[in-house]
Amino acid sequence: MHDAPATQNARALAPPRGRAIHALPQHVVNQIAAGEVVERPASVVKELLDNALDAAATRIRIELERGGADLVRVVDDGAGVAADELPLALAPHATSKIEKPEDLVGVATMGFRGEALASIASVSRLTFRSRTQGADAAFEVAQEGDRAGAVKPAGGPAGTSVTVRDLFFNAPARRAFLRTPATEQGRCVDVVRNAAMAFPLVAFVCMCDARVVMELPAMQGPNDRLLALVGKDLASDLIEVRAEPDETGGVGVWGLAGTPASARATARWQRIFVNGRPVRDATLAHALKEAYRGLIEPAKRPVAMLLVEVDPREVDVNVHPAKAEVRFHDPGKVHAAILRAVRDALSAADLTPAWPAHASRDNAAAASAPRAAVDPQQFVEQLRAAGLAPASPGGFDYEELRSAVETARDADAPADESATSLDAVEARSGSRAIPIALPAPQPADRFLQVHNSYLVTQDETGVVIIDQHALHERIMFEKLLARVHHGPLESQRLLAPAIFSATIEQVGALPGLAPLLTRLGVDAQPIGPADVAVHAFPTLLFERKVDPAPFVRDLLDRACADDFPADKEEALRDVLDMMACKAAVKAGERLSDDEMAELLALRDNVDRASNCPHGRPTTIRLSIHDLEKQFGRT
């Protein structure tokens, strides 16, 4: 009795039997296609924007009502569509962008399938109005579901206007699955933002319920466009990324990447474009993640907007109905190009976070502000008025000062390795501040240890506070990584094996870990169903008084975790993180003056010294300017 409803449901879901195979009506075919192409209002916005960009539009206006469910209108000033081609524009699989199968290799347009307008029209009330450049008048055609109207004259400027009303009016079940208007609006605006990032020469205006939410001028530089879209708070934490195609085997990379301090809890501010197309690709995401390895905490995501240019013949964009995924002919080459470009940009930047948190933004804003031309003699007189220069003119070489002022003012001049680009002191006269270029910070000769955990020193820009454990952890990690790449780590045999109890899973993991353990200088073998013996241990860890048994137990715990990397090199780095953490000096450990001096000296000679291998900062800087603000001196 209790099984009856389940049986009835099974029968109801069973395929019908005995029915003849038949061709589906065209409007049903179109609605099936719409299910692949048109998921929500944002899908409509994307398809219409692709068409506008392919028409070489220089100005595009997007209008939305109720998150796009009631209205999506995209107006452009592009090439337009001739009157006799308007009905064909709404027909399925009709396009001007490809003609033969070979054209699918090397697609250089945003759209190409020819099903977008037909799919959208099948689930909405659509009006398509267009006027070609040089034509005397515009023409329009309307379609409601599967009912298409006749082409008729209409008023309008050169270009195209597509109006989509009442999306899913004839598919109420699908309309019921739409989110709130605010959520759908946000997704539509995000699509516009993507297009604006990838095409900085095109002007965009986006209106939601008759209110302008985005307005970007035409002919913006890529840098200006990205900064305009990410906002001032984030803009000051961005570093320019650049790799020319001749340096990377034909892959060009340009964009902006955030400092480690700007990393977010989600990947919302990760945008990667391939030939102008926003894509989701595991290869590209992995390259970005690897570039930040050891600079951000594992749970955080770096901020990055990257524009990747490749030969269209080297990438297949025809692998997803919504064109959101791509397939590369040589994914390793693209991965290497992004990894190198982002890693080089991070290596060249000063990643030391400022304290208070707003200080880096203030300093970056001041550094990026336009610099007025300054006469050297007037410059010195302002210094004297502020009490920062001798009263007599002796000792100043005006020509040298002129050169220094010009160098400081020239924002486009290539930065010298011995000079800082953002760190400066301000010489104030009244309300005017003049930036003066400073040499790069030199190793400090004065330092102290606070609470046996932090080292406090100074450089030319202010006070530097260092987490001794985090910094030493980074140093140990880089030392271990360099050694293991030249062969297995030096190890030491134990006079008596260190034995510990283990779980069945841990014992079972040992055979698979054998190659990794050999590289690390660890010899651990099972001596029963639930016991492990450590026979050899890395000398470096012995010297740091690391106990073999607990370390190997922790290593096996990590290896049995669900998120332990499958890739061998990633797994190696993961375990080296553990080793560095165990071997590094601890918080609360008192250091001698010689040990502190050595630690500070190593800081200037190790890669990525700004962060520990887990991504936490090793150092923060309190600038002189912020000290003066705290003490009311400015």
Q: What is the CATH number of the domain that holds 495?
A: 3.30.1370.100
- Of 498, 517, 510, 524, which Cα lies nearest the Cα of 560? 510
Same domain, 97 and 183: yes
Q: Is position 13 within any domain?
A: no
* Cβ(62)–Cβ(207) below 8 Å: yes
* Residue recorded with tokens 């107006």: 75
User: Which of 313, 329, 348 marks a domain boundary?
Assistant: 348
Same domain, 35 and 49: yes
Alpha carbon distances (Å) from 361 to 55, 130, 367, 617: 40, 46, 10, 17
Q: Is position 612 within any domain?
A: no
Provide the residue range defining the domain that includes 339: 222-348
Q: Which whole number is the average pLDDT over 228-242?
A: 84
Q: Is position 413 within any domain?
A: yes
Alpha carbon distances (Å) from 541 to 401, 526, 545, 555: 53, 22, 6, 14
Q: What is the distance between the alpha carbons of residues 494 and 496, in angstroms, rounded to a whole number?
A: 5
Residue 194 in tokens: 């993507």
Q: Are strands 238-243 and 277-278 parallel, antiparallel or unpaired?
A: unpaired
Q: Domain with 159 in it: what CATH number?
A: 3.30.565.10
Same domain, 382 and 410: yes
pLDDT score of 167 more than 90:
yes
pLDDT score of 233 more than 80:
no
Q: Is position 627 within any domain?
A: no
* Cβ(610)–Cβ(263) below 8 Å: no
- Residue 146: predicted pLDDT: 79
Residue 474, SS3 per DSSP: helix
Q: Is position 631 within any domain?
A: no
* Residue recorded with tokens 């791509």: 326
pLDDT score of 414 more than 70:
no
User: Which of 181, 216, 251 marks a domain boundary?
Assistant: 216
pLDDT score of 478 more than 60:
yes
- Residue 504: predicted pLDDT: 85
Q: Which whole number is the average pLDDT over 416-427?
A: 30
Q: What is the distance between the alpha carbons of residues 475 and 468, in angstroms, rounded to a whole number?
A: 11
Q: Are strands 531-538 and 523-528 parallel, antiparallel or unpaired?
A: antiparallel
Same domain, 141 and 82: yes
* Of 231-235, 266-270, 408-412, 447-451, the least confident: 408-412
Q: What is the distance between the alpha carbons of residues 74 and 134, in angstroms, rounded to a whole number?
A: 21
**Identity at 332, one-letter amino acid code:** G
Same domain, 202 and 86: yes
548-559 and 568-583 helices cross at what angle (nearest 10)?
Answer: 150
Q: Which whole number is the average pLDDT over 424-443?
A: 32
> pLDDT grade, residue 163 (50/70/90)?
very high
Q: Is position 173 within any domain?
A: yes
Residue 168 in tokens: 């899913």
Average predicted confidence (pLDDT) for the chain: 79
Q: Is position 455 within any domain?
A: no
Contacts of 232 (CB under 8 A, 6+ apart): 361, 365
Residue 529 in tokens: 């169903």
Q: What is the DSSP string of 190-255?
A: HHHHHHHHH-TTSEEEEEETTEEEEEE-SS--HHHHHHHHH-HHHHTTEEEEEE-GGGTTS-EEEE
* Cβ(60)–Cβ(88) below 8 Å: no
Same domain, 251 and 307: yes
- Of 304, 307, 297, which Cα lies nearest the Cα of 257? 304
584-634: pLDDT as tens digits: 998 988 998 888 888 988 888 888 888 888 888 899 888 888 888 888 877
DSSP class of 373: P
* Cβ(583)–Cβ(520) below 8 Å: no
298-342: pLDDT as tens digits: 778 899 999 999 888 888 776 666 666 778 889 999 999 999 999
- Of 454, 492, 450, which Cα lies nearest the Cα of 472? 454
Q: What is the DSSP string of 530-552?
A: TEEEEEEEEHHHHHTT--HHHHH
Same domain, 340 and 483: no
Q: Is position 52 within any domain?
A: yes
Q: What is the distance between the alpha carbons of residues 118 and 44, in angstroms, rounded to a whole number?
A: 11
Measured in degrees and rounded to the nearest 5, phi and psi for residue 489 equal -65, 145
101-126: pLDDT as tens digits: 554 555 656 755 557 888 899 899 99
Q: What is the distance between the alpha carbons of residues 195 and 202, in angstroms, rounded to a whole number?
A: 9
* Cβ(619)–Cβ(259) below 8 Å: no
**Identity at 594, one-letter amino acid code:** D
Q: Which whole number is the average pLDDT over 278-294?
A: 89
Same domain, 178 and 281: no
User: Which of 187, 216, 245 marks a domain boundary?
Assistant: 216
Same domain, 94 and 200: yes
Sign (positive or negative) of CA dihedral 141, 142, 148, 152: negative
What's this model's pTM, rounded to 2 decimal places? 0.66
360-383: pLDDT as tens digits: 444 444 433 333 343 444 444 544
Same domain, 342 and 407: no
- Residue 322: predicted pLDDT: 60
pLDDT score of 485 more than 60:
yes
Helix then strand count (H, E) for the chain reads 21, 25
- Of 256, 223, 263, 224, which Cα lies nearest the Cα of 240? 256
Same domain, 241 and 337: yes
Same domain, 243 and 344: yes
* Cβ(470)–Cβ(615) below 8 Å: no
Q: Around 140, how many Cα atoms within 13 Å sit in the side-chain half-sphere?
A: 15
Q: How many domains does the chain have?
A: 4
Contacts of 516 (CB under 8 A, 6+ apart): 568, 571, 572, 575
Q: What is the distance between the alpha carbons of residues 354 and 118, in angstroms, rounded to a whole number?
A: 54
Measured in degrees and rounded to the nearest 5, phi and psi for residue 113 equal -75, -35
- Residue 393: predicted pLDDT: 40
Q: Domain with 278 in it: what CATH number?
A: 3.30.230.10
Q: Which whole number is the average pLDDT over 386-413?
A: 41
DSSP class of 557: H
DSSP class of 359: H
Residue 426, strand partner residues: 435
12-54: pLDDT as tens digits: 455 555 578 777 676 666 666 555 578 899 999 999 999 999 8
pLDDT over 70 for what percent of the chain? 76
